[in-house]
Amino acid sequence: MGVRLPHAQRLSPRALALLMSACVLAAGCAPMSDAECRGANWYAIGERDGLHYGLRPHIDQYAYQCERYGVQAVEKDYMAGWTDGYREFIHRSTGADCCAPN
């Protein structure tokens, strides 16, 4: 059984979407652990960043975080995933095709 809020305390759909977006973005900024760096699928991480966040690539942030564990982020794989994810993000958001592959 869920908690019902009085009408005045309910969030509008827009406010709820903004709140959820902030949570997703905050989760995307969480530091990577040693195990996450060592087992990273850089393509999948890039694809997730482009698809779910639709923001600029974060490869520099990941490289900095993983450097302390002696792990080098694979920029080529990350950027290939990010490009594919961002292309899909644009398509889902606008219905337009973007960023045709080379």
**Sequential pLDDT tens for the chain (102 residues):** 555 545 545 656 665 455 554 444 444 567 999 999 999 999 999 999 999 877 789 999 999 999 999 999 999 999 999 999 999 998 988 887 766 555
Q: Would the CA dihedral through 34, 39, 43, 48 be positive or negative? A: negative
What pTM value is reported for the model? 0.66
* Residue 62: predicted pLDDT: 97
Instruction: Identify each DSSP E strand in 1-102 by its residue range.
Output: none
Q: What is the Cα gyration radius of the chain?
A: 17
